[in-house]
Chain A
Amino acid sequence: MRYSGLRVIKEALTGHKGWGAAWRDPDPQPAYDYVIIGGGGHGLATAYYLAKIYGQKRIAVLEKGWIGGGNVGRNTTIIRSNYLLDGSEPFYEFSLKLWEGLEQDLNYNAMVSQRGILNLIHSDAQRDAFIRRGNAMILNGADADLLTTAQIKERYPFLNTDNARFPIKGGLAQHRGGTVRHDAVAWGYARAADKLGVDIIQNCEVTGFLIEDGVCKGVETSRGTIKAGKVASCVAGSSSRVMAKAGMRLPIESHVLQAFVSEGLKPVLPGVITFGAGHFYCSQSDKGGLVFGGDIDGYNSYAQRGNLPVVEDVCEGGMAIFPMLGRARLLRMWGGIMDMSMDGSPIIDRTHIERLYFNGGWCYGGFKATPASGYVYAHLLAKDEPHPTAIAYRFDRFNRGLMIDEKGMGNQPNLH
């Protein structure tokens, strides 16, 4: 069924009885050409583009729980392409362009809202760094706009521009950045992929790999053995757990990142504001809640919840720059498991095991990458060569000294 305004009216007049399920609930077949492990945003997008762009058939997405129950349902919904390095910026700009056409492509309202993102500047050195970043963005076809303090005050009158430690001296804006309804991304990709014949198999945990003579021939699951032409892991925070079943150790640590949402308020915050120096960023959801967060807790965790010191740190940062936050009550807070890589950038590559592929290491930035991650992973799976925007995301960049370290932190995952 195609969704449209006309369809809404028709269904409204007939008691909403004709909608039906948005995707099927098939039992697993004994064999597929492609088995994608992980029914999150990236896995579902991979299946969709594999079928849509690369014309592949017999594709399954295996999900341990329910689709969209992991990080695609637990993030703070920001999209942007404000990266610096050559290995990253073309990829993230490709992603932002895919976001711009996503809803028409999927025939699904994902509430893509290009309300803009602003990174605050507090010192001359930071301004220099942001000008450099802005120029790198423009060179790669993205948009970047350096704002003065006066422009920022006009647009965001509630910001404390005279904080003693971090006075606001300007900002780097990307007006095409914004927010997206995160759950709708998973659902939209699932529905569109299902329509193209992809089997989305939920409650199906991968318990092992079938590996013969260095070739991956399928997976063992809680719902039986599934043979596959190619197997593609796409499980973000669980990457190390899944790949360990294939005997692999990864350049990844799993860390917990907390996020917060206030009670619903009238519209007060147009766009996304990041206060990097204070480890705080914030946007307002369409429901009215202020959605905010800060740093990862900083220790290995699979618990999907964090501890209080970071809660305090995030709220202090928020109060420093954004004093009106103190009038809002915190409604919910939660944690997600971040696949923190050794240089802060992802890996989308073949593994040393033939026909086994890996996509992970997204750190806390996987959501914005969802469309491009799926697209380039599908490209890799279908053609066995990397997509032009993802050639740097290789496993061997660590031993070859070709790190893509946006923050220049070195091999310390909790600092990226």
Chain B
Amino acid sequence: MIINHPLLGPRDAAEFTYLGDAALIHRPDWAAPDALPQFTDYGYLRDNPAGLHRELWFHEGGDRSWLVVTRDTTTHEITSVELARDVARREGRST
């Protein structure tokens, strides 16, 4: 697989490590009354879809940026690559 890094251009996927579902960007609020079940879901349950999957890749052998890669898990085709920082800001995760 080739991941088209938004800053560095096309890079071999072997340069990256994989964390998982990009929903992990949205860590639950530790102070919420139902924080415990929320963190259980966050830590242990996954959608695991067959088809398009937004996922977090870390450019460990490169610029050490986190990316959100949209990839089809049935074909490995990558349709979109964004900096995780941009995604997190857009989705209100951080400023």
Contact = CB atoms under 8 A, between A and B. Distances in A.
Given A252-B46, A307-B1, A309-B13, A398 B55 contact: no
B57 to A, nearest CB: 8
A229 interface: no
Q: Which of B12, B43, B45 has the most CB of A within 10 A?
A: B45
B73 A298 contact: no
Contacts of B1: 307
B74 interface: yes
A253 B20 contact: yes
Interface string A231-249: 0000000101100100001
A241 B75 CA distance: 16
Contact of A301 (B17, B19, B44, B76): B76
A412 B17 CA distance: 12
A173 B55 CA distance: 40
Contact of B37 (A238, A303, A399): A399
A300 B47 CA distance: 11
Nearest to B57: A299
B74 A300 contact: no
A254 interface: yes
A249 B46 contact: yes
Contacts of B48: 240-241, 249-250, 252-254, 300
A208 interface: no
Interface residues of A, number: 25
A327 B46 CA distance: 43
B49 to A, nearest CB: 8
Contacts, number: 71
A413 interface: yes
A153 B17 CA distance: 37
B18 A303 contact: no
Interface string A141-159: 0000000000000000000
B84 to A, nearest CB: 16
Nearest to A399: B40
Contacts of A398: 40, 43-44
Nearest to B41: A249
Contacts of B40: 398-399
B50 interface: yes
B13 A307 contact: yes
Contact of B55 (A240, A254, A300, A412): A300
Report the contact-size class of chain B (Cβ under 8 Å from the partner). Answer: 20 to 34
Q: Which of B18, B44, B49 has the most CB of A within 10 A?
A: B44
A300 B43 CA distance: 17
Interface in B7-34: 12-14, 17-21
Contacts of A399: 36-37, 40, 44
Interface string A242-272: 0010000111111000000000000000000
A402 to B, nearest CB: 12
Contacts of A252: 46, 48
A109 interface: no
Contacts of B73: 254, 300-303
Interface in A263-310: 298-303, 307, 309
B20 A309 contact: no
A256 to B, nearest CB: 9
Contacts of A309: 12-14
A398 B46 CA distance: 13
Nearest to A300: B73
A337 to B, nearest CB: 9
A167 B65 CA distance: 36
A315 interface: no
A403 to B, nearest CB: 9
Given A240-B47, A249-B46, A251-B44, 4 more contacts: A252-B46, A302-B74, A303-B76, A307-B76
Interface of B: 1, 12-14, 17-21, 36-37, 40-41, 43-50, 53, 55, 71, 73-76
Interface of A: 238, 240-241, 244, 249-254, 298-303, 307, 309, 342, 398-399, 411-414
27 contacts: A240-B47, A240-B49, A244-B47, A249-B41, A249-B46, A251-B44, A253-B20, A298-B17, A298-B18, A299-B71, A300-B21, A300-B48, A300-B53, A301-B73, A302-B50, A302-B74, A303-B75, A303-B76, A307-B76, A309-B14, A398-B40, A399-B40, A399-B44, A411-B44, A412-B19, A414-B18, A414-B20
